[in-house]
Chain A
Amino acid sequence: MSDLVIETTGLRKEFRSLRGEVRVAVQGLDLAVPAGGVHGFLGPNGSGKTTTIRMLLGLARPTRGTMRLFGQAVPERLPQVIGRVGAVVESPKFSPNFTGRRNLMLLAGAIGAPASRVDEAIETVKLAGREKDRYKAYSLGMKQRLAIAATLIKEPDLLILDEPTNGLDPAGIREIRETIRDLGASGVTVLLSSHILAEVQQVCTSATIIGNGRLLASGTVDELLGIGTSYRVVVPDPAVAGQVLARAGFEPATIDGRLHVEAGDPAELTRVLGEAGIWLTELSPLRADLESYFLQLTEAEQLGHDAAADSEAVA
């Protein structure tokens, strides 16, 4: 039994216009989301994130490829697993003239969930007191919170959130991020689709980056950023320290009068310098910026995509 909650292989989605033109939204995507934690699904606008999510949830049919949720093939076995999956796809979609609570009650009714669970979900997303207002009177943040409440009615094992902080004010963004972190910590696997890099960096434990419908990179956020492999070392005499480290097998570089050293384990650095009688005044990991990494990946992908398009045009 796979411990992957979401698994896609060679997933492809084509859209055909009435004139027969084909637009490929997702091309051969292999996605693997392990159980537990918050997994970021990162990509620029139009990269195929929402289309992938919609295919996973049975709202769109893949042109090719296979998908699994909790090890079950979807969409064939979707009815068997949908009860474990909560999702907000793009913007929240409810009947505008019904109250927030009535909207949730109707959804709860479809799966036989008790009214108490609706009330709990309303409490969790901090909508208590406003649940009897009409949905159309809600602010965008309240609508997003109601959408998250709808997902909680199922008490899901997997939560798929597609750009959940879109259009929210800073306070709303913080609230939603806290809710997501809490859910991730409570054992729910969260797939957080976003184009906001800082959000993924702050909230997610692992991430998949896609561009033009293709997988660009995947792994833990630390792995993606290479955190822990490069350190800045501040010592009274960088030249001497550099020689010591070089003799110990490291490859130090001096940048702006500070040493930058690649090291798998920072304890090894301090031990070597300490044994040479050099005492550190600062040792800090050089945090790669996810934004830089993301832009580097997506720009490279875009260049490749454009080149392929040009060569097709020439051919």
Chain B
Amino acid sequence: MSRLLRVELTRLLCRRAVLVILVVAVAIPTVIGVATVLNTRPPAASQLAYAEEQAAEESQRKVYQRQFEQCLENPENFIGDQVPDDVRTACELSALPQPDWYVYYDELDLAAEDEQSGLAVVIVVAILMMLIGTTFAGHDWASGSVSNQLLFEPRRPLVWAAKAGVVAGLTGLFAGFVFTVYWLGLGVVASSRDLPVGDGILLDGLQSGWRGAGVAAAAALAGYALTMLFRSTVAALGVLLAASVAGGVVLAVIGIGSVWNPGLNIGAVILDGAKYWAEVPCTGGIEFEGQQCSVEKTLPIGRALWYLGTGLVLFAAASLASFHRRDVP
């Protein structure tokens, strides 16, 4: 088996299309990471000086001066019940324009990035890894080299498993490496900006990245299994595209709850649980009897793993059985 794994790994890495996809899978997270870092960078000294100048200038306008005077007279209307001793400073902060009004930037928040750029990176890389799975298997069928390979190793389940193992292993490791570098990079940037990275915030990001690597490997395996089943990259991609575009719509039309939406389940695996809205019978009064109310629920990662894992196992079993039984052209 190790011999076959080595051969299949060489075959995979020698494919130009696979190498191009791997390069793209590094480039896109790099672009997203750089954009995130740039969009959250602190303002430059010149920008701060300009903002202070603007604030000072605006503060001289009558409307703000009037507000400031009203604040001094009735501070509780502006500041609240707990009026501090230094009322003047409090009213300056509350009633007059401040420099940060004129500087627009979002601070880098690693906890929020988990559901934003982190999730986007995982999804993009997972799609690319799926392409690797489909193109790897599809090329073998298109060139007809599967039959040649079987003349050297006729145990078809072994051949299927070796290819699957290499696809899942390589894509999982590669995606894990990309996501680790991504989160460590964000962590370094946050540290350099004296932003909080402790209390497990960075670890949370890394863990969602590693779960994402598992999703990417599973996506590659699913792409591979479907292509081995249909014996065509185009057919496999067509089915996957149709499922992703129409799947959610079909589920909604036939009245299947969003908890069965594959996208939601993938999100739940990556983010360690996901929120969704469910229709349940209303409670709390006779006037709501018989009506449906939307309630926010949490889809736990365990259930999402079970759902997606079952689907993947079924796909893989169908693919393996087909490869084992059907004639090879």
Contact = CB atoms under 8 A, between A and B. Distances in A.
Interface of A: 54, 57-61, 75, 78-79, 82, 85-87, 89, 91, 93-98, 102-103, 105-107, 109-112, 150, 154
A98 B15 CA distance: 8
Interface of B: 3-4, 6-7, 10-11, 14-16, 139-140, 143-145, 147-155, 325, 327-328
B152 A107 contact: yes
B143 A96 contact: yes
A94 B143 contact: yes
Contacts of B11: 95, 106
Contact of B151 (A57, A98, A102, A106): A57
Nearest to A151: B151
A78 B139 CA distance: 26
Contacts of B151: 57, 59, 82, 85-87, 89
Main secondary structure of the interface of B (DSSP, over half): helix
A93 B148 contact: yes
A75 B7 contact: no
A130 B214 CA distance: 43
B99 to A, nearest CB: 60
Contacts of A61: 325, 327
A79 B154 contact: yes
Contacts of A93: 143-145, 147-148
Contacts of A110: 3-4, 7, 149, 152-153
B15 A109 contact: no
B16 to A, nearest CB: 6
Given A59-B328, A96-B143, A107 B3 contact: no
Nearest to B17: A97
Contacts of B140: 95
Nearest to A98: B14
Given A96-B143, A97-B15, A102-B14, A107 B327 contact: no
Given A60-B328, A95-B140, 11 more contacts: A57-B150, A59-B328, A82-B154, A85-B151, A89-B147, A91-B144, A93-B147, A95-B11, A95-B143, A106-B7, A107-B149
Contacts of B144: 91, 93
A112 B153 CA distance: 11
- In the complex, the 4 A-B pairs of residues with the closest C-beta atoms, listed nearest first: A93-B144, A109-B7, A60-B327, A110-B152
A68 to B, nearest CB: 15
27 contacts: A57-B151, A59-B328, A61-B325, A78-B154, A79-B153, A79-B154, A82-B152, A82-B154, A85-B151, A86-B151, A93-B143, A93-B144, A94-B143, A95-B139, A95-B143, A95-B145, A96-B143, A97-B16, A103-B145, A106-B10, A107-B148, A109-B3, A110-B3, A110-B149, A111-B3, A111-B152, A154-B152
B149 A59 contact: no
Given A89-B147, A95-B143, A95-B145, A109 B154 contact: no
A206 to B, nearest CB: 24
A60 B14 CA distance: 29
Contacts of B149: 107, 110
A88 to B, nearest CB: 9
Contacts of A86: 151
A112 B16 contact: no
Given A106-B10, A150-B148, A111 B328 contact: no
